[in-house]
Chain A
Amino acid sequence: MMNIVTVRSVNDPNKTYQFNDNGEPMRGGIKDVYFSPDKSYVVALFRDKLDENQKERLKRITNYYRPQIQNKEAADYFLEEVFRWPADVVEHRGLTGIIVPTYKGKFFFKQGHETGDLIKGKEKNGKWFAAAKFRNEQFPLRVAKAELGNWLSYFQICVNLVRGVKKMHAMGLAHSDLSYNNVLIDPIEKSACMIDLDGLVVPGLFPAEVIGTAEFIAPEVLATKHLDKADPNRVLPSRLTDLHALPVLIYMFLLHRHPLKGGKVHNLDTEMDDLLSMGKGALFIEHPTDHSNRPKVNRFSKWDLPWSDINKLPYSITGPYLTEMFNRTFIEGLHHPQERPPAESWEQALLKTVDLMQQCTNPSCSEGWYVFDNSTEPKCPFCGTKHKGTLPILDFYYEFSPGVWKPDNSRLMVYNNQYLFNWHVDRNVVRNERLDPKDRVPVGYFTFYEGQWVLVNQKLEHMKDLTVNKDVPVNEMIVLTQGKKILLSTEEGGRLVLITITNEKQS
């Protein structure tokens, strides 16, 4: 039965919205959710009456912060892709509601579980993709292979989430309750979206009302949660606690286990033990010297393998850049919030890692991609398949002073049909959501052609083979050989690459 209810905007009394009150709303934690008749948005009504401060927060999120995103760079990327940002605030029979655009179709399971249709058509809550058991081929209610994507998918997912947090922090906001429950994931189209953004924290103006979701709460918040809210020693969610929750989420999406849930017993009482192991006594399960919290594999559910085995799949499989970031977060920064790296560093570390990825040559490999381990005989850590054939590596250098080139701490692993982009060519081009559309187009590509690796120049006007001092014009190719030096651009910021061919023994 259609029962269309019209509600009025609090921000702009001339604006109205409609929803279909079918008597059976979708029940969220604190809100009842109704669809608009055309299903383009939802009206989410808070079940309890909100106080003035809570209403003011919602008004601010919709009439101040939303336009801020709208009027700045990459507005579409943030509002259409990364965030489901509340659009307006309404009142209905004394209750407050928010208008939120409907989630995109890609965030609903097409198939769901491998067998049965229990979750078919349901939201792709992040938890389905974070936990190990839902990808274990023996688990009866595993998520369908066709829904899981490959390892590379999760890097783009993490990049989206990291950029969302980066944007909030740039606006002076803190998320305060980042968790797999507040994100929707699509590994197929490689997308992620942050939802439930009505509780954002504005320091000094709108304090946190929640301390977060159990597995994501920062140690200092848990360690002081027994203190009164007015106690100066009490720590509440902030930008710095987001910088704990975000890496926990990244670690879980890439490694499908929790970075702090190990074997160390702090207290015989379960709740006390949990509070200590995530709070005051928190210790990284893969701490390089303190092994007291290493997981006991025999205590894990069999469904959690192989991901729960940190000997087989240590965090170092995420590559050198992310390993360092995890160290800074879960070792140095775990109990020193100021040491935690900012969201932007995570973005760059993730993107640089993507440049180190190789396709696994085993077509039935569950992950399909892996990070090059800097060895002369690379192999896939997931299925153990050794890389077949030679593997060219490009190390980037920048001109420190005229004629003096220094390493740029970045590298590109070549695979067949790998592309070269301007962010590789020019050190002034930063790969982020504000990237100019012209820089999103490849400038060259790599391919294995007639028994050798070649780089085809598509757009670079001043590419030069420095080894033989010869220009490589557009639409010509250059063969990649051991020790070759190629100048990609003569412009300021232009990079030089040094070619290393690895895995020669195997070919």
Chain B
Amino acid sequence: MRRLPVYFLLDTSGSMYGEPIQALNNALSGMINTLRSDAQALDSLWISIITFDREVKEVVPLTELVQFRLPEITCPQSGPTNTGAALDFVMNKVRQDVIKGSDTQKGDWKPLLFLFTDGKPSDIQLYHEKTAEVRAFDFGAVVGCAAGHLANDAMLKQLTDNVVHLDSADSQTLKTFFKWVSETIEQGNKSQGTGEVSKLPPPPSEITVVI
């Protein structure tokens, strides 16, 4: 059974503190519920959530959708956005987790990577190196999402051609975005006696018949 691994890299730097992080939690939980009500997604999807601010944290390791439990994602009140370190981390995970095809074993589907950020990388040097590595790797799709006016689209363009810009990181916008994400993920999977004679036994009470 091939799995479809999906990695979410989520920016939890200081600028996400307050409403944006609440909205993100809300939107993620909505997305997981949408996916869990989809038979196709439940059949093959594995999800991992990684957050990055000053530190990179594997909040949920690659887990089958049915057993996925979404924890509350929190963020510090201030601090840098180590996007480069996050990409470095996810590349190591992808190499470890994703089963490659061999002569005796079927491989997983190409993984999908979604990066969500509301700012620009603080570790630019590492970011440049790692974007090249991501581009060279055989992902099924890489989607960059820039939320709010501080997010730098041009930086994300280095990582992938699929960049989505959200005007703000409010609840409604994020909900819509993650709805789109779940649709994107789902796409990948498709496409009787008369009673007169008392000696007779009683007629059956239930008819089982296929006509």
Contacts and interface: CB of A to CB of B under 8 A. Distances in A.
Contact of B104 (A134, A139, A265): A265
A156 B200 CA distance: 31
A284 to B, nearest CB: 17
Nearest to A116: B36
A442 B192 contact: yes
B203 interface: yes
Interface stretch (A122-130, A219-227, A235-243, A388-396): A122-130
B90 to A, nearest CB: 19
A268 B42 CA distance: 25
Contacts of B101: 265, 267-270, 273
B105 to A, nearest CB: 7
B93 interface: no
B211 interface: yes
Interface stretch (A49-57, A164-172, A297-305, A376-384): A297-305
A118 interface: yes
Nearest to B34: A118
Contact of B43 (A133, A177, A181, A274): A133
Given A269-B101, A445-B204, A475-B196, A299 B106 contact: yes
A449 B37 contact: no
Given A122-B37, A181-B190, A456-B193, A351 B201 contact: no
Nearest to A454: B201
Interface in A274-310: 274, 299-301, 303-304
B37 A119 contact: yes
B194 interface: yes
B39 A128 contact: yes
A427 B107 CA distance: 52
Nearest to A153: B210
A119 B37 CA distance: 6
A127 B40 contact: yes
B1 A156 contact: no
Interface string B168-211: 00000000000000010000011111101100110111111111
A27 B193 CA distance: 53
Nearest to A119: B37
A445 B42 CA distance: 45
B149 interface: no
A273 B107 contact: yes
B58 interface: no
Contacts of B105: 265, 299
Given A131-B39, A140-B66, A270 B107 contact: yes
Contacts of A435: 211
A174 interface: no
Contact of B197 (A299, A447, A475): A475
A155 B209 CA distance: 11
A431 B39 contact: no
A190 interface: yes
Interface in B69-105: 100-105
B7 interface: no
Given A273-B106, A301-B1, A431 B211 contact: yes
Contact of A118 (B33, B183, B196, B209): B33
A344 B33 CA distance: 41
Contacts of A190: 210
B159 to A, nearest CB: 22
Contacts of A177: 191
Nearest to B197: A475
A416 B208 CA distance: 11
Contacts of B125: none
B52 interface: no
A299 B108 CA distance: 12
Contact of B36 (A27, A141, A155, A476): A141
A263 interface: yes
B128 interface: no
Contact of A268 (B66, B100, B183, B211): B100
29 contacts: A118-B36, A127-B43, A133-B42, A133-B43, A134-B42, A155-B210, A177-B191, A190-B210, A265-B101, A265-B103, A268-B102, A269-B101, A270-B101, A270-B107, A270-B110, A299-B105, A300-B1, A301-B1, A417-B205, A417-B206, A435-B211, A447-B201, A454-B201, A456-B200, A458-B192, A458-B193, A475-B197, A476-B197, A477-B200
